[in-house]
Chain A
Amino acid sequence: MKRSGPRETPTPRDPMADTAAGLTRRSFLKRMGLMGGGLVVYLTIGDGAGTAMARAPRQGFLGAKVPSDFNAFLRIGADNRVTCFVGKIEMGQGPITSFAQMMAEEMDVPYASVDVVMGDTDLCPWDAGTWGSLSTRYYGIFVKEAASEAKGVLKSLAAEKFSVPVDRLQTEKGTIFDTRQPSRRVSYGELTAGKLIERHLETLPPLKQHTAYTISGRPHLRRDARVKVTGEALYAADMRLPQMRYARILRPPAHGARLLTVNTAAAEALPEVEVVRDDDLVAVLHPRPDGAAEALASVKATFDLPKTGIDDRTIFEHLLQKAPPAAVAAEAGDLAKGAQASVTLLEETYLNSYVAHAPMEPHAALATVAGGRATVWASTQSPFSVQREVAGALGLPDDKVRVITPFVGGGFGGKSASAQAVEAARLSQRVGRPVMVAWTREEEFFFDTFRPAAVVKIRSGLDAAGRMTLWDYKVYFAGRRGCENFYTIPHHREAVHGEWRMAPGIHPFDVGPWRAPAANTNVYARDLHLHLMASLAGQDPLAFRLNHLEDARMRRVLEAAADRFGWTALKSPSGKGYGIACGIDAETYVAAMAEVAVNPDSGHIDVKRVVCAQDMGQVVNPQGATIQMEGCITMGLGYALSEEIRFSDGRLRDRNFDTYAIPRFSWLPRIETVIVPNPDLPPKGGGEPAIICMGGVLASAVYDATGAKVRQLPMTPARVKAALEAVG
């Protein structure tokens, strides 16, 4: 759909269309300058056949523009400190800690000697964006390879210095010593001091085996905790520059509204106010944010309001009508045969609502544009996309735009889009001063890229022996992630009608990735449905799953969860209020069990206990991984129980935390997490997987408690009561 109001951003260019960029030698030198001169070993790799792997550009969407030259990732100071540069950003998931662990581990330097610089487009190697639980899984490998190669080059430098063969040398805590004469020892900093060295390395050293790890795989506290508890940690809205102005932008009252008239005379008459009109962008600027708010309140505007007839109730019919043809994610057997083989069929439709990201920090950006250059401090998950968008909007080449990402106060996918940065940059270009655009909470809700509302239709069948014979699964607009069927069902088909991305004419406002996109909806529908199937089969819901499950990793996480939970066989609805859900996300396997109590009078769900078991392969920081699981479980209570955006005719009813209820302290269940060890598998995702089970585990628990089938998330008291009445 066409966006209304001043929110147009340039059409994003295809990131793959650009030639491989990344840090060039020139930019390393520039970085040295930016960092106050530098004692950098500029390491290059030779042309030998053995190095072809390292020299070839990284393949695929995720890595296409990530430099293969490891110099991009690190700098060794004369003081022996190692700076690790990554294009990712820190929004709470803790990569600032795990990247330091990985760098220190592979380089053999003390963990405390590593500094991490993130999300600065001038200093850091390119990255597609921080999402998809990819930081450790993919980017982590680049960091480890860079560290390992740097260590190899340092060893060859030391070999020359001591005139001994390289294989007599060993590294330890940032030093290299001669194994035959351990007093012969040199630190990395001494080796590199004051020199710019270009060095070729013939073969890539192998990465360490996890069994040799002493830093990775050990729990580490967050390294940004101190600055965050003292208030020193700066977020985009905290940035300050001399002469800066705070902007407030005229916003439409509804999505799809068109600006008819605007009168800014009253605002212009206010002291210190500057009014900017730049096409569709109408803004007031003031030296103080409250001054800008006052000025905006005096702007009079009229809008042509849309009448779409679409609201949070009619949306599902609308979605089904507009659904594109299916993309089949997987299929086997023949659905008709599966139906014939079934003695019991169950056909259900499940709905999921629009959900906001609602990070505690609203989008903010400070931009300063002058002399053909721009610097933007932005609250974003995608600094390199912001760089391109700002450059496009200002008519500057990409490399004249520097995007710096301070600490980000939560993203969850919502800061993959960062329109505020372009707004700030456009305004700064117009007025010739630094401009801050910090969205209000109302703007944050209005311009959020919501998790899309979605419909799932499942038709399934059981044979006389209680085995599933048919699984006909259709998902509309949630997307494919998490819809896969890992159960043994002879006739199945998973059909995906529409993804979670923006699709013209479908959603009344923007949609986008929301922590584990699509998977929350798919797992909710699948696991509630499986629970109902187990009930029809007269089987315990855990045994029912295991009976249909060959995948050893999934069996292990289910069994680990059951063990911790103390699951005992039941026939649902048992009145105990026990639920199960499990799935695969970001290549991590996860299973959850929960206990709820339902108040039949109010329809309120009291979540008493949630147990979550996860196999995420190697774990770089077990402490951080546990915290992500706890965070996912807590956050997931929201989309399961209360969170939904209510709207009609493009107007949002929920625009602040008074009506949009996110989880609070008083909602907390007892939370228990289990990491199922699997150290031989490379690290898998950790920031998202544990959230995918929350809808399914609680919906199945509500069914077990009461027999009520709550077929729409969130399970608000009203929906629970309606479902209870249907039980009778």
Chain B
Amino acid sequence: MGKTLQFTLNGTPVTLEVDAERTLLWVLRTDLALTGAKYGCGEGLCGACTVLVDDEALPACQITIGEVAGREIQTIEGLARNGALHPLQEAFAAVDALQCGFCTPGMILKAYGLLISNPQPSRAEIVAGLDDNLCRCGAHLRIIHAVEIAAAAMKGGRS
């Protein structure tokens, strides 16, 4: 069952001895102790588990670890650099774009994926881009605002 897989995780190469059929979310959370990606539904319906795979925001509960072999994964833990928050993180904190915070890592990565493919999204594009990510606390308004602020700060760059 164990198979040696290699991928890049938050910029660092990783080699894992693991069953390729296992779900990325559980490998991240359990084997790699990165608990920033959350379990919210397990069915690709809530976005709490969102990570970036080769710059595309995807639900980690719907991906096997085998599928990410050779690819680049970014989780919320890898977003801040040397203690400096990413502009999206800054913006979320600056406008209180969160309450319980459980949806927050997924929201930020979903927004990051959006901004990588569309650096200056309109409000309607932000709404459409984030619509599959659920937030029960109702932080939506402020999340949109945070993404607008971050987009302006990033000026089309990645940070």
Contact surface of A with B, Cβ cutoff 8 Å:
91-94, 221-222, 224-226, 228-235, 237-238, 240, 246, 288-290, 358-362, 407-410, 412, 438, 440-441, 623-624, 627, 630-635, 656-658, 662-666, 668, 671
B105-144 interface mask toward A, CB cutoff 8 Å, 1 = contact, 0 = none?
A: 1001000000000000000001110110111111111111
A230 to B48, CA, bound (A): 14
A290 touches B93 (CB 8 A): no
A657 surroundings in chain B (CB, below 8 A): 41, 43, 45-46, 134
A630 surroundings in chain B (CB, below 8 A): 138-139, 141-142
Set A225, A412, A441: member contacting B41, Cβ < 8 A: A441
Known contacts A231-B35, A288-B30, A656-B43: A225-B138 contact under CB 8 Å: no
Known pairs A230-B80, A409-B38. 7 more at Cβ < 8 A? A289-B30, A290-B23, A360-B40, A360-B136, A410-B102, A441-B46, A671-B141
A409 to B77, CA, bound (A): 18
A662 to B134, CA, bound (A): 8
B104 surroundings in chain A (CB, below 8 A): 228-229
User: At the interface, is chain B mostly helix, strand, loop or mixed?
Assistant: loop
B138 surroundings in chain A (CB, below 8 A): 630-635, 663
Closest CB in chain B relative to A232 CB, distance in Å: 8
CB-nearest residue of chain B to A224: B101
The reply to whether the CB of B54 lies closer than 8 angstroms to some CB of chain A is no
B93 touches A225 (CB 8 A): yes
Question: Interface residue count for B (Cβ, 8 Å)?
Answer: 58
B136 touches A226 (CB 8 A): no
B85 touches A361 (CB 8 A): no
Query: Can you name 27 A-B pairs with beta carbons within 8 Å?
Result: A92-B137, A226-B93, A228-B104, A229-B98, A229-B104, A229-B108, A231-B35, A231-B105, A232-B36, A237-B35, A237-B38, A238-B35, A240-B33, A289-B29, A360-B135, A361-B100, A362-B39, A409-B102, A630-B139, A635-B138, A665-B140, A665-B143, A665-B144, A666-B127, A668-B140, A668-B141, A668-B144
A624 surroundings in chain B (CB, below 8 A): 96
Known contacts A93-B99, A225-B92, A228-B98: A361-B38 contact under CB 8 Å: yes
Q: Which 9 A-B pairs have the closest CB atoms?
A: A231-B36, A409-B102, A634-B138, A228-B101, A92-B100, A92-B99, A631-B138, A231-B76, A238-B35
A658 to B127, CA, bound (A): 19
Closest CB in chain A relative to B52 CB, distance in Å: 13
Known contacts A229-B89, A359-B136, A657-B46: A668-B127 contact under CB 8 Å: yes
A290 surroundings in chain B (CB, below 8 A): 22-23, 26, 30
Closest CB in chain B relative to A227 CB, distance in Å: 8
The reply to whether the CB of B152 lies closer than 8 angstroms to some CB of chain A is no
CB-nearest residue of chain A to B35: A238
Closest CB in chain A relative to B21 CB, distance in Å: 9
The reply to whether the CB of B42 lies closer than 8 angstroms to some CB of chain A is yes
A233 touches B139 (CB 8 A): no
A288 surroundings in chain B (CB, below 8 A): 26, 30-31
Closest CB in chain B relative to A391 CB, distance in Å: 28
Known contacts A225-B92, A233-B101, A665-B131: A441-B42 contact under CB 8 Å: yes
The reply to whether the CB of B153 lies closer than 8 angstroms to some CB of chain A is no
A222 to B97, CA, bound (A): 10
A359 surroundings in chain B (CB, below 8 A): 100, 102, 136
A475 to B143, CA, bound (A): 38
B89 surroundings in chain A (CB, below 8 A): 229-230
Known contacts A289-B30, A361-B40, A656-B43: A627-B102 contact under CB 8 Å: no
A438 to B42, CA, bound (A): 12
B40 surroundings in chain A (CB, below 8 A): 360-362, 441
A410 surroundings in chain B (CB, below 8 A): 99-100, 102, 136-137
CB-nearest residue of chain A to B91: A229
A656 surroundings in chain B (CB, below 8 A): 41, 43, 45
Known contacts A441-B43, A656-B43, A666-B131: A235-B102 contact under CB 8 Å: yes
A225 surroundings in chain B (CB, below 8 A): 92-93, 96, 98, 101
B108 surroundings in chain A (CB, below 8 A): 229
A409 touches B142 (CB 8 A): no
B77 touches A408 (CB 8 A): no
A708 to B33, CA, bound (A): 54
A668 surroundings in chain B (CB, below 8 A): 127, 140-141, 144
A592 to B58, CA, bound (A): 38
Set A226, A230, A360, A440: member contacting B103, Cβ < 8 A: A360
A289 touches B26 (CB 8 A): yes
A361 to B46, CA, bound (A): 11
A663 surroundings in chain B (CB, below 8 A): 138, 140
The reply to whether the CB of B79 lies closer than 8 angstroms to some CB of chain A is yes
Within 8 A of A (CB), among B1-48: 22-23, 26, 29-31, 33-43, 45-46, 48
Known contacts A93-B99, A225-B96, A634-B140: A230-B79 contact under CB 8 Å: yes
A440 touches B42 (CB 8 A): yes
B94 surroundings in chain A (CB, below 8 A): 221
A631 touches B92 (CB 8 A): no
CB-nearest residue of chain A to B146: A229
Closest CB in chain B relative to A695 CB, distance in Å: 16
B77 touches A229 (CB 8 A): no
Closest CB in chain B relative to A95 CB, distance in Å: 12
Known contacts A228-B104, A360-B102: A631-B139 contact under CB 8 Å: yes
**Of residues B37, B96, B138, B142, which shows the largest number of chain A Cβ atoms within 10 Å of its Cβ?**
B138
A671 surroundings in chain B (CB, below 8 A): 141
A623 to B85, CA, bound (A): 22
**Of residues A238, A290, A360, which shows the largest number of chain B Cβ atoms within 10 Å of its Cβ?**
A360
A666 to B144, CA, bound (A): 11
B36 surroundings in chain A (CB, below 8 A): 230-232
A229 touches B92 (CB 8 A): yes
A408 surroundings in chain B (CB, below 8 A): 100
A237 surroundings in chain B (CB, below 8 A): 35, 38-39
Set A230, A246, A362: member contacting B85, Cβ < 8 A: A230
B133 surroundings in chain A (CB, below 8 A): 665
B85 surroundings in chain A (CB, below 8 A): 226, 229-230
